[in-house]
Amino acid sequence: MSLNATGITFKYFEDSPRIVLQDVNITVPVGKISVLQGKSGAGKSTLAYVLAGLYPENGGFLQSGTVKWENVDIHTLTPDNRVAYVAMMFQNPDLQFCMNTPENEIAFCLENIGIAEADMPPLIHDAMEKAQALDLLGKSFTYMSGGEKQKCALACILALKSKCIILDEAFANVDEPTARQIITTLRGLKLTILAIDHSTSLWNADHVISLDGTGARVFDLVPSLHAVGAPVITTCGLSVGAITYPNMCFEKGSITAITGKSGAGKTTFFKALMQQHKYKGSLALMGREVNKYKKKHLYERCGIVFQNPANQFLALSVYDEVFFSVNHWHKGNAEAKREKTLELLRIFDLDVYKKYSPYLLSQGQQRRLAVLTMLAGGQNILLLDEPTYGQDYENICAIMQLLLEKAKNGLTVLYTTHNGALARNFSHKIIHLEDNRE
Amino acid sequence: MSDFMSKINPFYKFVFIIVFSTVITFIHSLWLNIWVFGGAMLLILTGVKYTQYMRVVKFMLPVAFMSFSLFVMGLFFGEGGGGMFGTVTTQSTQTGITMATRFLSFAGIGLVFALTTNPYDLVKSLRKDAKLPRKFAYGMLCAINLLPHIKTEYQNAMMAFRVRGVRVGPLSLKPLFSMLVNAFRWSEMLSLAMISKGFYED
């Protein structure tokens, strides 16, 4: 018994020359945890959507191939029947729910499969208990962390009693301990799991499926780090909202990894630095309080790459996106700028996509493009929120090498990560934020 | 203070308010306006939780300003008015007051409804009592849930543009454009998430 995909050939448009998946055959064994791997942009998410029956029903063109659970063809079922076989958990936890609380959301799910309202409460309770999220039952999604939302998403799927769960990088915004906790829960339920993730160790997978022949590699990059300069950012008794921070200091040319549970205030610290949040205590940038800066001057010194990079694109093609930054920050004639842009795109393997819209790139590629647009700028300080999530080994190395080179020339880099090995290998120091909300 | 207004079936309340507003649209009476506005305020004072009072004040400030501008408009440009800062007659004053109170009375009705109705209950009741198709009902709820998300994403977009060295003010269209593109993506993600949970209607 298994979920079988045979001969899948898929493209986004019927007459498009670019084939996303070419004759893919995979088998997901029942009751086991399988991890799907492949290079960034290899079509992992697309394959997941095809397996879940979401494509081609809601987009794209399936040239050939079938997806079957035993003898049931997933693609011939209507969504309400299909959900008994496969359901999906998505990367962005904010965009998974149409109701306000888990209680209402699960009720919505149960209504979809035709369960009467009177029978719902025990089923809802049961599903939340299994997902170990019973304490969140009536809590509003607005006040939940990414990890809590993913637990609720899992509860929904458990309520629907789907046989197979497909997770598309579902723990992108979740810290490692929470992710492990959810995975342990999943393992205990003996469900069929197909997870897209670059880390197999997190999943302790029974089975690894490779989409393009490249296996996972253990992170072993040990760069030789250069000496750092004078302090650039210093904090003293800093608190933002309910979060208090230890006293921190970041030197010129240093690379600092900020780790900690989701909700510990990593992103909040960046936002305070960018004047998006008010703060108490002292947060000084080059000897001057951050809130004394004019925004314009602050942003000339300090760049940021968001967790979700899609909202920082401003051009209509990948090339224009990078060229914009190059043009804004560099002197020289047009030809030199053009060369510089292409060179940068080549470093991150994005040159083949230069005519594409940034929004058509895969999640990993978008993140790389966002890092690139900031690196092309002339800021002295760069804040990166999860720059390497969803990247394969080569691209993590490429991103980090480029950061290292820039840091040698005096760029101060602060990045958040849930990847412990990366933080240990690639930073002058690690700042671990405890969850010390009052 | 009780919140008895919140306990009325939201759909019936909705229908009543639509019908009532339509009827008073055709009646031009100063006293009717004053009674309606007074009634609305009375309902808010007695029928709404006192924790909501701050929202009332926040909402009424721009309303009062609009109402005042309507009064000035009626005063100078209404029937019998003398144009820009011209002569003011009793008739034009009355026109001004009627226009201003009319605006207040509509705002009052809307406010009573908004403060005493939970959008979830309204949609639920629309489904049950008005037989609204599930597609629309859950579509509306999705949109309501997206609002806080849209707000933070807009702030992010503004910051992202500034960091890239693009000048943006509160009226710039650029962040709005990127918001629009993102909104398409969100709606697609949301609908996929809903379908993946078995949401289906033909």
Residue B124 touches partner A, C-beta closer than 8 Å: no
The SS3 call for residue A256 is: strand
Give chain A's mean pLDDT: 86
Chain B closest-CA separation from residue A177 CA (Å) = 25
Residue A49 touches partner B, C-beta closer than 8 Å: yes
Q: Which of A214-223, A341-350, B116-125 has the lowest mean pLDDT?
A: A214-223
How far apart, in whole angstroms, are the C-alpha atoms of residue A61 and residue A224? 48
Instruction: Extract long-range pairs of A183-186: CB within 8 Å, 24+ residues apart.
Output: A183/A33, A185/A130, A185/A131, A185/A132, A185/A154, A186/A33, A186/A154
B160 neighbourhood in chain A, CB within 8 Å: 304, 306, 311-312, 314
How is residue A311 written in tokens? 């909202």
- The pairing of strands A2-11 and A61-69 is antiparallel
Give chain B's mean pLDDT: 85
The answer to whether the CB of A20 falls within 8 A of the CB of A70 is no
Instruction: For chain B, give percent helix, strand, coil, nearest 5.
Output: 80, 0, 20
- Clarify whether A169 is annotated catalytic: yes
Q: What is the average per-residue pLDDT within A47-70? A: 90
Q: In the sheet that A61-69 helps form, which strands lie side by side, from edge to edge?
A: A21-29, A2-11, A61-69, A72-73
A94 neighbourhood in chain B, CB within 8 Å: 149
By percentage, how much of chain A surpasses pLDDT 70?
A: 96
Grade residue B157 by pLDDT with cuts at 50, 70 and 90. confident
Looking at residue A387, what is its pLDDT?
A: 84
CB contact under 8 A, A80 and B200: yes
Grade residue A165 by pLDDT with cuts at 50, 70 and 90. very high
Chain A closest-CA separation from residue B47 CA (Å) = 25
A52 neighbourhood in chain B, CB within 8 Å: 196
Structure ipTM over 0.90, yes or no:
no
How far apart, in whole angstroms, are the C-alpha atoms of residue A230 and residue A249? 10
Which of 166-205 (A) contact B at CB < 8 A? none
Q: What is the average per-residue pLDDT within A208-234? A: 68
Residue A276 touches partner B, C-beta closer than 8 Å: yes
Residue keyed to tokens 């005096």:
A410
Looking at residue A223, what is its pLDDT?
A: 58
Considering only residues B152 and A437, tell me which one the structure prediction assigns the higher pLDDT: B152
The DSSP bridge partners found for residue A284 are A234, A289
Nearest CB among A112, A302, A325 relative to B200 is that of: A112
How is residue A433 written in tokens? 């934020």
Nearest CB among B178, B179, B197 relative to A87 is that of: B197
pLDDT in tens, A173-199: 777 788 888 888 888 888 899 998 877
Residue B197 touches partner A, C-beta closer than 8 Å: yes
Looking at residue A224, what is its pLDDT?
A: 66
Closest CA to A264 of A436, A63, A380, A90: A436
CB contact under 8 A, A98 and B138: yes
Q: From the candidates A105, A148, A169, A321, which is the catalytic residue?
A: A169
Q: Residue B94: in which H helix or E strand, if any?
A: helix B90-116
pLDDT in tens, A5-15: 998 999 888 88
Grade residue A435 by pLDDT with cuts at 50, 70 and 90. low
Looking at residue B2, what is its pLDDT?
A: 54
A112 neighbourhood in chain B, CB within 8 Å: 197-200
Q: What is the average per-residue pLDDT within A109-137? A: 92
pLDDT at residue B69 is higher than 90 = yes
How far apart, in whole angstroms, are the C-alpha atoms of residue A225 and residue A404? 8
pLDDT in tens, B38-59: 999 998 888 777 788 888 888 8
Residue of chain B minimizing CA distance to A165: B196
What is the per-residue burial (b if ≥16 Cβ within 10 Å, else e) of A136-145?
bbebebeebb
Chain A closest-CA separation from residue B157 CA (Å) = 6
Looking at residue A213, what is its pLDDT?
A: 53
B182 neighbourhood in chain A, CB within 8 Å: 310-311
The answer to whether the CB of A384 falls within 8 A of the CB of A371 is yes
Q: What is the average per-residue pLDDT within A413-419? A: 88
